[in-house]
Structure formats: structure tokens, C-alpha cells
Amino acid sequence: MDIHQIMTLLVTLFIMRKMELVRGETAHKVTFYLHDLSLYKNISFDTAVEEVAPAKDMIPLTNFGQMFVFDDELTAGPSSKSSTKVILGRAQGLYVYCGRVQPSALWSFTAFLDGKGSLSFHGAERIFANTSNPPQRSIHVTGGTGLYQNAHGIASISTIALKVPNYFVLRFDVTISMLS
């Protein structure tokens, strides 16, 4: 066997091993809407609280350095009207505006899906980078508990409602893989 044949064999074995790891996994899709509200500067109404103000002398649109801690409702649909919304759980964590030139947000939070378990998310996304309608961005699913034990995958984010600077609704289309 020459070196080329040995390398081909090693690459083939490596690919087969990777396929084995993926074979026992199942894919799942979850969709929810995150409702973020910071209108009143009053903790009894707001679901997000500013903890760090934006950096001075920055482009105002980016809010670079501004950080919010949140405890937001997760619903089955985009409506915030109490008569029509179905609450799926809560999202708790933080987001930081991290783009100096282009508006970007770094997300780190856990979605507690009532009675089913939780999913953990982390990643930075460029808020206006995608021009699709509606614009979509992505962050990582880094783990889960309960029904979502050992989940990993991707969450596509779409802005559904936006009232700058105090209110937004985001749609999360989550695709995860888990060992079956």
C-alpha cells in the first residue's frame, strides 16, 4: 500500500465513524415566540431590565455595550394579547449589543418549556444582516434537559414585531438533534 491508499483508507474510516455517531440521533423542530418588553422601567411590568448602558461616543443605532437581563414569555404565536396567546414557557438569560459598526446581539439564555424540559442557546447574530423577508439570523442550541436532553442544533431568528427601543417579538424556529 502506498501513502495515497493509506490516506484514502484513513479518511474513509473517519467518515464512517462520523456517520455512526450521527446514525443514533433524531431531529426535532420546535417553534416559539419570545416577547421582550422594557417600556416602563418598572420590574412589575417589564420582562427585560437594562443592566449596562451603551458605550459613549458610539454609533447610536448599534447600542454597543448595552446589556439586558431578561425573563420573557415564550408563546405558540406572535400575539401578546392575553385572550389569544398560548404560553409555552419562559426564556431567562441575557443579551448584549456587541456590534460596534453593525447592530449585533450576543444571546445567552435558557428556554424553559413548561413540562417538557429546557433548551440552552448561545451565539451572536447580526440583526439587520439578512435581507430576506422576514430577515432571519441564527444562533446555536448548546444543550437541553428533560425531553431535550443532550440537544444540539440551530435556531433561526425572525423579527416579527419591533417598537424601538422598548419592545420586540422574535420567532425562533429551532432544529435540534438528540440521541434517540
Residues 6+ apart with CB under 8 A from 86: 75, 76, 77
Rounded to the nearest integer, the mean pLDDT of the chain is: 79
Minimal CA–CA distance to 138: which of 117, 114, 158?
158
pLDDT in tens, 97-134: 888 888 888 999 999 998 899 999 999 988 876 656 65
**Is the pLDDT at 70 greater than 70, yes or no?**
yes
**Is the pLDDT at 9 greater than 60, yes or no?**
no
**Which letter does DSSP use for residue 11 in this model?**
H
**Is the pLDDT at 175 greater than 80, yes or no?**
yes
pLDDT in tens, 134-162: 556 899 999 999 999 989 999 999 888 88
pLDDT band at 76 (very low <50, low <70, confident <90, very high): very high
Q: How many CA atoms lie within 13 A of 54 on its CB side?
A: 17
Residue with cell 406572535: 78
pLDDT band at 16 (very low <50, low <70, confident <90, very high): very low
Under 8 Å between Cβ of 37 and 48? yes
> Which domains, ranges and CATH numbers included, belong to the chain?
26-179 (2.40.480.10)
Under 8 Å between Cβ of 138 and 125? yes
Q: How far is Cα 55 from Cα 34, in angstroms, rounded to an integer?
A: 26
pTM: 0.77
**Bridge partners of residue 117, in order along the sequence:** 113, 146
Q: How far is Cα 91 from Cα 112, in angstroms, rounded to an integer?
A: 6
